[in-house]
Amino acid sequence: MKTSLRRELLDHGATVVGFAGLHGYLSGEIAHLDRAVSIGVDRRLNEDTLSLLVKLQKRAARFLKARGHRTLVIPPDSDRKNDTFISKLYSLFNHKMAATSAGLGWIGKNGLLISPEYGPRLSLATVLTDARIRPDVPIERCLCGECVLCVAHCPSKAITGSEWSRSSPFAELVRLGECRSHKKSKRQTAGKPNCGLCINICPYGRKEASTKQQISCKHQAPNNK
């Protein structure tokens, strides 16, 4: 079942698909749905990343329901309607936690999910289920290494440079207040709060970056898994 679901989602446009076992990580209300299908879509593919993610989630939910399993679709963070009943439960759940548990990547110094292949450029969505899928191997700690490009380039100096690991999930990686106030001040130019420098600068998955820079970054940030 795992392979065919992964196949189906990849065939329909998912960039990466992982399966996580979240037993012990979820709050009581949703604890019975302790497997997660984590779906990532490369933001650079097109403008319709969001609608693609929503479609993929529905596909995964249909797939699991048709086999008699329960599902709870957690929509992408930028597509949360707050007027539904179920939206009250969304805040209990964190996409990045599911993605790291599914081995899709780690939480980088910039506080974003870093995938070894695609860097911080994935948009995430999750489908929780009670299907007994065997989980993938989780990633337990930050693999950014010595690289501090995002720390150095952050215009609001909001990135602390601390490293994430699953055993210290509450370490402050980014001073959110400072990041937010900077984004707000950039509202005029972009029409909405916007920054994203820490995404652009990240050497992981930056394909159009000059080879020289990539090599030097790779040197700084060995993937020493």
Partner 1 sequence: MVTEEKKTELLAKLRNAVIQYDEDTSKEASQEALDVGMDANDAIFNGLVSGMVEVGKMFEAQEYFVPELLMCADALYAGLDILKPHVTQLDLGVKGSVVIGTVEGDVHDIGKNIVKMMFDVAGFTVYDLGRDVPLDKFVAEQLRTDSDLVCLSAMMTTTMTGMKKVIDDLRTKNPHVKIMIGGAPVSQDVADKYGADGYAKDATNALKDAINMIESLKKMKDEVEAKKAK
**Residues found near partner 1 in the complex (CB under 8 A):** 29-30, 32-33, 58, 65, 70, 72, 84-86, 88-89
Q: How far is the CB of 36 from partner 1 (least distance, A)?
A: 13
The residue whose two tokens read 């329960």 is 70
Compare residues 39 and 72 and give the one whose CB is closer to partner 1: 72
Q: How far is the CB of 84 from partner 1 (least distance, A)?
A: 5
Compare residues 73 and 199 and give the one whose CB is closer to partner 1: 73
Q: Where are the alpha helices (DSSP H) in 67-161?
A: 87-90, 95-101, 149-153
Q: How far is the CB of 191 from partner 1 (least distance, A)?
A: 31
Q: What are the DSSP calls for 23-58, one per residue? A: TTTS-GGGTT--EEEEEEEETTS-TTHHHHHHHHHH
> How far is CA 191 from each of CA 80, 127, 182, 186, rounded to the nearest angstrom?
20, 31, 14, 8
Compare residues 85 and 170 and give the one whose CB is closer to partner 1: 85
Are 155 and 53 in contact, with CB atoms under 8 Å apart?
A: no
Q: How far is the CB of 10 from partner 1 (least distance, A)?
A: 23
Compare residues 10 and 30 and give the one whose CB is closer to partner 1: 30
